[in-house]
Amino acid sequence: MKSLFSINKAICLAISLGALVSFSSQATANKSNDDSAAKKLYEQYCQSCHGVDRLGAMGPALLPENLARFRKNKAIKVINKGRAATQMPAFSQTLNKAEIASLVDYIYTPSKVSLTWTVADINASKVQHFDQSKLPNEAQFDADLMNLFIVVELGDHSATLLNGDTFERLDRFKTRFALHGGPKYSPDGRFVFFASRDGWISKYDIYNRKTVSEVRAAINTRNIAISNDGKYLIVGNYLPNNVVILNTSNLSPLKVIDAKDKDGNSSRVSAVYNAPPRYSFIVALKDVKEVWEIPYSDKGGVEVFKGWAHDYKNEAKAEGWKVAKQFPVRRIKTDDYLNDFFFDPDYINLIGTARNSHNGQVINLDTKKKVASIGLTGMPHLGSGITWNYQDKEVFASPNIKEGKITVIDMENWHIIKEIETEGPGFFMRSHSKSRYAWTDVFFGPNNDKVHVIDKSTLAIVKTLAPAPGKNAAHVEFTKDGKYVLLSVWDMEGELIVYDADTLEIVKRMPMKKPSGKYNVYNKINYERGTSH
C-alpha cells in the first residue's frame, strides 16, 4: 500500500502539471491574441506601404530576412519618429509604446508565406497580352521617336507617353502597382521595360502603344538594367535574394543567380546597372561587402575579359567565352556595405557610398581595388548624380538626401571642389550637355516646393523656383536637344511643367496624378551626361 505521503505527492504533482498545462495554454492563447492584435495594427497602419504579408510595396519588405542589420531598438525609434529622407512618417502621436513594441515584434517574426520564387514560378506567371510578331514594326503615329518621354504617374499607377516636341499625350496606360527604379529602353527606342516593387516586369511597345507581355521575376524587386544589344534584362531583387536575367524578346528567364558572397552569406540586391563600355552588368549588394560584375559578352575589352578569365581560369579555355559559362560573376571585395553607386564616363571607376559611413569609396573595376576615398557626409544620392566639364576638368555632382548641399568632386584626383548650400536635402539632380544649367530639387523638408538652378560654369545657384507653392517639386528631365526642361509636381492633383531651359520661363503646364520620373528616349539610350543611367 502506498504511503499517504506518496499519495499526496502524486496529487500535488498532478495539480502542478495541470496548472502548468493550463498556464502554457493561457500563455499560448495570450501570444496568439498579441500576434493577432499586432497583425491588425500592421494592416491598419503599415500594409498600404509595406504590402500584404509584409512582402513590400511602395515601402520595403518588413521581414527578419530584410532586417538582419537593423536592430529592434532602431526599428522602435523609426516607427516613433519616422525616417529622415524617406516617406516613412512618425507614429509617436498615433500609437502608444506597447503598440509600437508589438509591431516591432511582429515584423521580426518569420513569415508564414513562402519567400521562394523559382524559375518555374517565373515561367508560370507569364502574361502575353499581344503577339509581338503580328504587330507592325513601324510607329503608328507621327513624332520624333527619339524625343519621346515616358512619364510615370504614381498617383493612379499609370504612365504617359509624351511627345517631346509638342508636349502632347500620345498614350496613357495602366502600369503595375508601385513602379520602382526607372523604366529602361531597348537600344532602338521601340520598347520600354518597367519593374514594380512586387517583382513584375512589363514590356511596352511604343510603336504600337501596347503592353505586349509581362512576367513576375521576383517577390520584391529593386530595379532593372538592359544590355547594350538589348538582348538581356537583369532584375535586382530583395526577395528572394538574387538577380534574374531575362531574354528581352519573350521575358523568359535565362539565369537566376543567388546573391551570396564567397562564404555563402546571403544578401539583398540594392541595385543593378549596365556598364556599356564593359559589356557587363554591375550589381550592388546590400548585406555583404562585395560588388559584382557580370559580363554578358566578350566584347568588353581586354581588361574585362582578362578579369573574367582570371576569376574563372579553370573554365576559361583558349577559345574564350563559352555559352556554358554565360553570365559569370566577378566578385569585387569592398571595405563596407555599398548602397549607392555612380560611375565615371568610361566605367572604369565605381564611386560608392555606405549609409553608415562618412566617406565614399572609389573602386577600379579592372584591378578590383579601392583607389581613393572621398569625404562625403550626410547621405549623398550618387545614383542621381551628373557630370560636366568645369574649368577643363571632369566633375561629378551629387545631391544629398540628409543634408542641404550639393557636393562637386574633381574626377581626376577625387577631391571635393565645392559644397553648394541648398535650402534642404534633395533627391534628384539633372542637366544636359547643351545646357549651361544644372537643376536640383529640395525634395525633403519644409522647402520641398523649391527647385534650384545652378550655373555649371560658376557652381553658384542663379535662381530658385517655386513652380507650385506648397506642393513638392522634384525630378527634371531635358528634351533631346536640351532646349526644354520637364519638371514634376508630386501631388495627387499634380502637374508636369515645361520650362524653357535657357530663359527659365514656363512654357506649358499639364495636370497629372502625382507624376514622378520622366525619361527621354534619346537621353537614356545614349547615356546623356546630364541624366541618371
Q: What is the 3-state secondary structure of 217-236?
A: CCCEEEEEEECCCCCEEEEE
Beta carbons of 257 and 327 less than 8 angstroms apart: yes
Q: What's the order of all strands across the beta sheet hosting 484-489?
A: 473-478, 484-489, 494-500, 506-512
Amino acid at residue number 508: K
Task: Report the CATH superfamily, name and number, of domain 12-107.
Answer: Cytochrome c-like domain (1.10.760.10)
Cα–Cα dist 126/118, whole Å: 13
Query: Domain residue spans in the chain?
Result: 12-107, 138-151+166-288+290-333
Query: Which pLDDT score is estimated for 308?
Result: 61
Q: Which long-range contacts (CB under 8 A, 24 or more apart) does 75-83 make?
A: 75/104, 75/107, 75/108, 76/100, 76/101, 76/104, 79/103, 79/104
Quote the pLDDT of residue 438: 98
Cβ atoms of 212 and 205 within 8 Å: the answer is: yes
Q: Which three cell numbers stand for residue 353?
A: 557610398
77 — phi, psi (to 5°)?
-65, -40
DSSP state for residue 196 in the 8-state scheme: B
Report the candidate in 192, 299, 287, 278 with the shortest Cα–Cα distance to residue 237. 287
Rounded CA separation 62/111 (Å)? 10
Q: What confidence score (pLDDT) does residue 34 get?
A: 59
Q: Give the count of alpha carbons within 13 A of 5, CB side only.
A: 0
User: Distance (Å, rounded) from C-alpha 229 to C-alpha 204?
Assistant: 18
Could you tell me the end-to-end alpha-carbon distance of the chain, in angstroms, rounded to an integer? Answer: 89
The topology (CATH level 3) of 138-151+166-288+290-333 is Methanol Dehydrogenase; Chain A (2.140.10)
Answer positive or negative: Cα dihedral of 520, 526, 528, 531. Answer: positive
Q: Answer whether 12-107 and 138-151+166-288+290-333 agree in fold.
A: no
Q: Which residues of 466-477 are buried (b: 16+ CB within 10 A; e: fewer)?
A: ebbeebbbbbbb
- And the C-alpha cell for 481? 536637344
Q: How far apart are CA 253 and CA 325, in angstroms?
A: 16
Cβ-contact 233, 217 below 8 angstroms: no
Model pLDDT, residue 20: 42
Query: b or e along 175-212 (b: 16 or more beta carbons within 10 Å of the residue's beta carbon)?
Result: bbebbbbbbbbbeebbbbbbbbbbbbbbbbbbbbebbb
Q: What confidence score (pLDDT) does residue 48 get?
A: 82
pLDDT of residue 359: 79
DSSP letter, residue 501: T
C-alpha closest to that of 344 among 392, 280, 414, 427: 414
pLDDT of residue 3: 45
Report the distance separating Cα 5 and Cα 51, nearest Å: 61
pTM flag (> 0.95) = no
Picking from 255, 246, 251, 239, the residue whose alpha carbon sits closest to that of residue 198 is 239
What does the pLDDT profile of the chain (533 residues) look like in tens digits? 344 444 444 444 444 444 444 544 554 445 555 578 888 988 898 888 888 888 877 677 888 866 766 788 888 888 988 876 567 889 988 989 898 898 889 888 888 777 899 999 999 999 999 999 999 999 999 999 999 999 999 999 999 999 999 999 999 999 998 898 899 999 999 999 999 998 999 999 999 999 999 999 999 999 999 999 999 999 999 999 999 999 999 999 999 999 999 999 999 999 999 999 999 999 999 999 999 999 998 787 656 666 666 665 544 443 444 544 689 999 999 988 887 889 998 999 999 987 666 778 999 999 999 999 999 888 899 989 999 999 999 999 999 999 999 999 999 999 999 999 999 999 999 999 999 999 999 999 899 999 999 999 999 999 999 999 999 999 999 999 999 999 999 999 999 999 999 999 999 999 999 999 999 999 999 999 999 87
Confidence (pLDDT) at 51: 82
